[in-house]
Amino acid sequence: MNVESITFSRRPARRFWGWGAADAVLDDGERATVKSMVEQLGGRYAALAPPAVAEFELRAPRVAPPASLAAMFSKTPLDRLNHAYGKSYADCARMWLRRLHNPPDWVAFPDDEPAVVDILDWAACSNVAVIPFGGGTSVCGGVEPTVGDGFAGVISLNMERLGRVLEIDPLSRAARIQAGAFGPEIESQLRPHGLTLRHFPQSFEFSTLGGWIATRASGHYATQYTHIDDFVEATRMVTPSGVLQTRRLPASGAGPAPDRLVLGSEGTLGVITEAWMRLQDKPRFRASASIRFADYFTAARCVRALAQSGLNPTNCRLLDPMETVFSGIGDGRCAVLVLGFESADHPLQAWMERSLELVLDHGGEYDAAAVARSMESEGSKEHRRGAAGAWRKAFIRMPYWRDPAVGLGLIMDTFESAITWDRFESFYQSVKLEVQTAIQRMTGQESIISCRITHAYPDGVAPYFTIAVLGSPSGDVASALAAWREIKLAANAAVVGQAGTVTHHHAVGRDHRSGHELEMPGLFRQMLAAAKAVVDPTGILNPGALYDARSRSIGKCGVLCEHSEK
């Protein structure tokens, strides 16, 4: 079935210096939350004027696109600023400092796949580095045009004009979707067919299918189908050496799978232009519960029991006491488990009832009437109310709170990992201690570190840490940023040193490379280098992300992008 052609207006303007929509504002309650957070951490609250485009001095573009492609290229200051950084703490801090060392020379907006081919051809012949760009929501330096000085120039390749669902196969329940489609665009084009991709990362509104595939993103469902990996049926990627198109198959045992190399390639092997994605029917039944536990590790054991039960809750998010305060659903005295089920096919009483037996075995407490209401009827909206609803609202709005706090000198950052159950408790304690010690050493301040379990597996768990601290006694942003670099390296070393992974879903980019190099077998890094040499022989694609593009040995870096700015 061919889907009717849809014309998109240009996307709503994004805020170049922080998270989300350019016209987003905090409401009074949110402003009060930010104020109290800044003051509790020893800072001084003030309303700051956000960075303006005119405050940035951008170097003149060092290269010019050929006349045949020029209509797809922009060098407006706003476009270049929008593509200068991703959306991490460090990106936001550098915007507050009005510090911009490596803007892209140009931003290309290809109209279609042949245009992507032409742009890569020109770039490879002209020694111009290319940064594939989806929504630019990377939080690990994935889209930053910091490529070293071996290139004539650098461009960002923005995929937003490739935003359509091209084809739907209702029998196999799959769709061919262009890589530049943002989350809401995908869902709005699938909705009339009663289908959903059901991939909801926190950044859903502003990130794209291509970005999700390139970073191996995970959605906010806690178990089973949550990684984009599970939804990919086939991919199509333009590389400087040709187009790689994989075959649509439900499964295959034909040797190493090519899609597995495309997934997580972080723009270093090619530009993903489209993918066949597995879909699901829209859920009709939901059940949810919010459960309090006096002790965090007992609650974690309950999560393990649930993850190993085969019940596969869609939500099974465990907030430690401090995280309940951040989310506005607790007072810091107990841990809260947000539990949920959904199905397009069947009511969920039996699943929820068995889960609550496991909860009671572990001493959890809940409001039975609220749980019953959540299961009352098809289409119940109970999961949007109570603690689960409050958590959901905070989950979506929290990135907006961070921006002003960063401008006032706070370091607010997150890092996430995954670890097997046998090591979880010591991992949690050791990582917290090591990072807290690094924060104290670098800032001299007391910090807050909270943790939530975002994803649960039968053999382990994904802990997601949030840190908040005043970056220096004076509260200035430059000192905070300098401290953050050391804290980030310490966090990378801590999670890998404690046998975890440097990232469960945020990807490697430039900022997690020091951990990735510790974690990955050297031989595998050489295999990656060999693959890169085949598809990108001149090393123009996203140099510096994931590994050093032009060093065939994929050597050590041990630095974050800020160190290597030129």
Given a contact cutoff of 8 angstroms between Cβ atoms, the answer to whether 129 and 543 are in contact is yes
CA-CA distance, 491 to 155, in Å (whole number)? 31
The correct pick among 132, 145, 407, 475 for binding ligand FAD (CB under 6 A) is: 132
CA dihedral angle for residue 377, residue 226, residue 463, residue 331, rounded to 10 degrees: -20
Asked if 246 interacts with ligand FAD (CB under 6 A), we say: no
Q: What are the start-end ranges of the E strands in 344-442?
A: 365-366, 410-416, 419-420
Question: How many CB atoms are located within 10 Å of the residue 234 CB?
Answer: 18
Asked if 135 interacts with ligand FAD (CB under 6 A), we say: yes
Task: Name which of residues 165 to 184 contact ligand FAD (CB under 6 A).
Answer: 179
The correct pick among 215, 315, 443, 503 for binding ligand FAD (CB under 6 A) is: 215
Task: Name which of residues 14 to 33 contact ligand FAD (CB under 6 A).
Answer: 19
Nearest to ligand FAD of 89, 285 (CB atom): 89
How many Å separate Cα 376 from the centre of its chain? 34
CA-CA distance, 461 to 109, in Å (whole number)? 39
Binding mask 513-552 for ligand FAD (x = CB under 6 A): -----------------------------x--x-------
Task: Name which of residues 422 to 461 contact ligand FAD (CB under 6 A).
Answer: none
Collect all residues with Cβ–Cβ distance below 8 Å to 531 and sequence separation of at least 6. 261, 269
Asked if 311 interacts with ligand FAD (CB under 6 A), we say: no
Q: Encode 350-359: b = buried (16+ Cβ within 10 Å), e = exposed.
A: ebbeebbebb
Report, in Å, the least distance between residue 9 CB and ligand FAD: 19
Asked if 207 interacts with ligand FAD (CB under 6 A), we say: yes
Collect all residues with Cβ–Cβ distance below 8 Å to 114 and sequence separation of at least 6. none
Let me know the angle formed at the C-alpha of 113 by 107 and 114, rounded to the nearest 5 degrees.
95
Report, in Å, the least distance between residue 385 CB and ligand FAD: 22
The correct pick among 37, 119, 124, 271 for binding ligand FAD (CB under 6 A) is: 271
Report, in Å, the least distance between residue 187 CB and ligand FAD: 15
Report, in Å, the least distance between residue 422 CB and ligand FAD: 25
Residue type, 290: S
How many Å separate Cα 195 from the centre of its chain? 24
CA-CA distance, 163 to 376, in Å (whole number)? 38
Report, in Å, the least distance between residue 391 CB and ligand FAD: 14
Report, in Å, the least distance between residue 350 CB and ligand FAD: 29
Nearest to ligand FAD of 144, 342 (CB atom): 144
Report, in Å, the least distance between residue 145 CB and ligand FAD: 10
Report, in Å, the least distance between residue 110 CB and ligand FAD: 10
Residue appearing with tokens 């580095």: 129
Residue 70 has, within 13 A of its CA and on its CB side, a CA count of 6
Asked if 382 interacts with ligand FAD (CB under 6 A), we say: no
Binding mask 75-114 for ligand FAD (x = CB under 6 A): -----------xx---------------------------
Please state the length of the chain. 566
Task: Catalog residues that contact ligand FAD under the rule CB under 6 A.
Answer: 19, 86-87, 131-139, 142-143, 159, 179, 201-203, 207-208, 210-212, 214-215, 217-218, 220, 266-267, 271-272, 399, 505-507, 542, 545
